[in-house]
Structures are given as C-alpha cells and as structure tokens.
Amino acid sequence: MNENKHSIETRALSLWYGEFQALYNVSVDIGHGLITSLIGPSGCGKTTLLRCFNRVNERYGNVKTSGEIRILGKNIYDPDVELIELRKSVGMVFQRPNPLPISVYENVVFGLRLHTPAKELTRARLDEAVEEALTDVGLWDDLKDRLKRKATDLQLEQQQKLCIARLLPLKPEIILMDEPCSALDVEATRQIEELMLELAGRYTIVIVTHNMAQARRVSHECLFMLMGELVEHSRTEDLFINPADSRTADYIEGRFG
C-alpha cells in the first residue's frame, strides 16, 4: 500500500494541443483513497487534466506538456516509466461503456492475460480473478451463470460495472472516470455512484462530472476548473456551501456554464 497520502501530485502542469493552451499551471494534490470530482463548464479542461494522469493525451497527436505529474510519488515523465505499467496502476472508465464484444469472462481477464505470462495464468487463477472482480462491482450474483454471455449484450449499467471490474485484476491504485454516468438513466447512475463509494478507500477515484448533484453526492473533494486553470480545490461540503473563490460561487449557483 502506498505510504504517501497523495496518489496524484501535479506541479505547474501546462498542456498545449498544438498552439492552443488547454491547461495553465495546474498544481494539485489528490488524496489517496478519496473520490475527487473535476467540475467546471464545458471546455474548461476536465477531460484533458484527467487524461494527463495516465498520459493518454499523448495519443492525440500534437500534444505538449510542461511541469510535473507524480503518481504515488513517481514522476510519470521520467524516462524509466513504462506506459504499460502506468496504465495498469491508473485505470480508466469512459462515458459510454466500452466492453469488448467477447464474453463477460474474457472481458474481466483481458488485461490480466495481456500483462501476465501465459504459464502463470492457470484456469483457477483466472476463475478467481473473475469471481473477485465481479463480486467487487456487485455483478457476480447476476452473472455467475452467464459468464460466457457476450458483454455487449448486457444492460448498459452492467456494461459500465463490467468496465470497472475489468480494471481490478490489474490491482490499480487509481481509477479515472470521465462522466461515467452520462449514458445511464437515474437508477443506473445511482448504482454506479453506490459502487464508487464502495470502492473508495481501496482505490483513489477521480471523476469528471457535469452533474453538480452527483459531485456533491459522491465526492470527498472537488476541483473547480475554468478555462484551463484550477480555480479551487476544496472539500466537497466547503466548495458547495462556502466556496473560497467568487468564480466557484457563480458557477455552482448557475450564473454561468
């Protein structure tokens, strides 16, 4: 277990897409085992910041970053950092559930198969990983007799839970979620939120959300961003009841955005 009380630390983090600067000097410490929400108006850089934490931005062409990002105390731009290892410890869940069009079982063990030498992967080890991960996300009872079923045929909220489950066999420290409920209805959203609260503590969760009520319900801390800058990082109840910055107050009271 990580000794550091911060899972993620950035220092003067800036990011450019070509000539366009999308992040300005973001310095933030994200607490270990907490759920932290990134909030702010469309285009303020929430997704960009989230994608910095596993260096996924670099897939999108002409991206340049400056500053530092430390995950569990280690600068992820150090030359000895392996992206594969980084993305194992920093898993990601997307807006639309995106399970692979293969069985439930194979979805859960997909990452494990990629990262583990085949001879170490006995049937028993795989079975155990599947049961543990599906139990952790509350799908085991529903799916234990249907593990061969195609994952893309499941209900949407089951698909999204499965997308969380398939990260778990890799023992991530951090789970990033970019608007994970935006394709889900109210009941499915409630279930995913409940699951996030159950997983907190064991994992550090960073969630991007447009939904202020959701940020309030699920997160311990919130980051409010505006035009690529981090305006405020506060405990959730402070941010909503007594924001430190007048721009935060204007946003949460609906005066813009």
Q: How far is the CB of 43 from ligand ATP (least distance, A)?
A: 4
Residue 42 CB, shortest distance to ligand ATP, in Å, is 3
The binding track of 27-46 with respect to ligand ATP, each residue x by CB under 6 A or -, is ---------------xxxxx
Q: Near ligand ATP by CB under 6 A, which window of 14-22, 75-83, 85-93, 159-167?
A: 14-22
Binding flag, residue 160, Mg ion (CB under 5 A): no
Is residue 161 near ligand ATP by the rule CB under 6 A? no
Among 19, 20, 120, 256, binds ligand ATP (CB under 6 A): 20
**Of these partners, Mg ion, ligand ATP, none, which one is at the site of residue 122 (CB under 5 to 8 Å by kind)?**
none
Q: What is the dihedral of CA 98, 69, 224, 213, to 10 degrees?
A: 40
DSSP one-letter string for 28-89:
EEEETT-EEEEE-STTSSHHHHHHHTTT-GGGSSSEEEEEEEEETTEETTSTT--HHHHHHH
**Cβ at position 219, least distance to ligand ATP in Å:** 16
Phi, psi of 177 (to 5 degrees): -135, 120
Site residues (CB under 5 A) for Mg ion, limited to 29-58: 47
Shortest Å distance, C-beta 33 to ligand ATP:
24
Asked whether 30 and 36 are in contact (CB, 8 A), the reply is yes
Joined tokens for residue 32:
């270990």
Task: Count CB atoms within 10 A of the CB of residue 84.
Answer: 9
Of 113, 115, 153, 117, the C-alpha closest to 130 is: 113
Contact residues for Mg ion (CB under 5 A)?
47
Contact residues for ligand ATP (CB under 6 A)?
17, 20, 22, 42-48, 60
